[in-house]
Structure 1
Amino acid sequence: MKAFEVLFDRYSGRLYHYAFKYLQDKGIAEELMMDLMLWLWEKRQQLDADVQLSPYLFRAIKNAVIKTLRKKSLTVLPIEQACDDETLVTPATDNRIDCQELNQAYLDKLDELSPQRQRVFKMSRHEQLSHAEIAKELNLSLFTVKNHIKASLSHFREHLKDYTDVTMAVLIYWWTR
Structure 2
Amino acid sequence: MKMQEHADIRNLLLRISQSDQLAFRILFRAYSNRVYGFALRLTRNAITAEEIVQDIFMKLWINRESVSTIEQFSAYLFTITRNHTFNMLKKVAIEATAKNNLSKELSEAHRDTEETILYRESQRILNEVISNLPPQQKLVYSLCHNEGLKYEEVAQRLNISRLTVKTHMQQALRTIKSHFLSLGAVLAWLLN
Under TM normalisation by the shorter chain, which class is it? 0.3 to 0.5
- Higher RCO structure, 1 or 2 (CA under 8 Å, sep 6+): 1
- TM-score (normalised: structure 2): 0.40
User: Structure 1 or 2: larger helix share?
Assistant: 2
